[in-house]
Amino acid sequence: MRFIGAMLAGAAALAFSGAALAQGPIVVKFSHVVADATPKGQGALKFKEVAEKLLPGKVQVQVFPNSQLFGDAKEMEAVLLGDVQFIAPSLSKFDRYTKKIQVFDLPFLFDDIAAVDRFQQSAAGKALLDSMKNRGLQGLAYWHNGMKELSTNRDKLTRPEDVKGLKFRIQASDVLEAQFRALGANPQKMAFAEVYQALQTGVVDGQENTWSNIYSQKFHEVQKTIAVTNHGVIDYMVVTNAKWWDGLPADIRKGLQQAMDEATAFSNKLANELNERDRKRIEEAGKAKIQPLSKEDVAAWRKAMEPVWKKFEGDIGKDLIEAALKSNQ
């Protein structure tokens, strides 16, 4: 009996693998909005490399950079509809799905990316990966980019009063909207793929981003000054469709998770280096001026943006803000 049972199980397994082979590998699409030569771009390519090595013939990963497949406006829906399996939006772009993630957008909350990392790896940070499951999204990892700098098409950019009345492109985030309103500026939510042209044609006067994004999108060619404000963070959460993920055969899910872990370590280690490299390239290009700020200048920006914290404390939760603050020590 046992022998026949084993034979049947074996036949079923053979039939299954035969069917799987006939169908070919599972195609996994990873869509994102930045260039390959950025921390996220490199992370996605690493994920492909490791996943295909760990799951040969079982999985094929296709990476679509530069909003080629889906841009900001459509990528979340695309994951929920199963048109793409992985995306890694900036943490600023999730506020329609959970208010808690807005904590990452509070200006001057984190001293640096090391502090951001400590918070992401804490129990409170890890819990956020599961906070959108009820909306169909499963967070798998945090990926770093870096601290944000502020740029405009004006010569002077040292103090908050220098941006009064200016128009700024922002990511789709209510916190960032409040941040620019606190400065007396006019924020405009806009997809990443549209920013260069908006800066070039003067639809907006400025934007905030990391060195690697500024360089790879050539924003420095259409801006006059980039102030080293480090006032906020651009990091990512890699998310997938929770139902699809839970429904994967266990060995595939395990391999993809391992590939994700390796890609995460790789990209997070690289992020600082790429931003430093691109800061130098911007300097060498000599198009936009890089404006260092004194301690007093930074304090003035911090003070001007401070009201934002109170405004969002209720939505985010005081305890989460405190947990994030602790990561600075």
Distances (CA, A) of 79 to 21, 130, 135, 163, 201: 26, 16, 11, 37, 33
Q: Report the distance separating Cα 266 and Cα 40, nearest Å.
A: 10
Report if residue 209 touches ligand LMR, rule: CB under 6 A. yes
The helix-helix angle for 39-54 and 250-285 (nearest 10°) equals 150
Do 101 and 94 meet the contact criterion of CB atoms below 8 Å apart? yes
Which listed residue (28, 33, 80, 263) binds ligand LMR by CB under 6 A?
A: 33
Smaller CB distance to ligand LMR: residue 137 or 252?
137
- Which x/- pattern over 139-158 shows residues binding ligand LMR (rule: CB under 6 A)? ------x-------------
- Which x/- pattern over 59-98 shows residues binding ligand LMR (rule: CB under 6 A)? -------------------------------x--------
In whole angstroms, how close is the CB of 221 to ligand LMR at the nearest point? Answer: 17
Q: Which residue is nearest to ligand LMR (CB)?
A: 90
Which listed residue (85, 98, 120, 171) binds ligand LMR by CB under 6 A?
A: 171
Per DSSP, the chain holds a count of helices (H) and strands (E) of 13, 11
Report if residue 234 touches ligand LMR, rule: CB under 6 A. yes
Report if residue 213 touches ligand LMR, rule: CB under 6 A. yes
Side chain identity at 121, as an amino acid letter?
Q
Length of the chain, in residues:
329
Do 169 and 180 meet the contact criterion of CB atoms below 8 Å apart? no
* Span 174-193, contacts to ligand LMR by CB under 6 A: 192
Q: Tell the residue number behind the tokens 């907006």, with chain if given.
A: 204
Interface residues with ligand LMR (CB under 6 A) are 33-34, 90, 145, 171, 192, 209, 213, 234
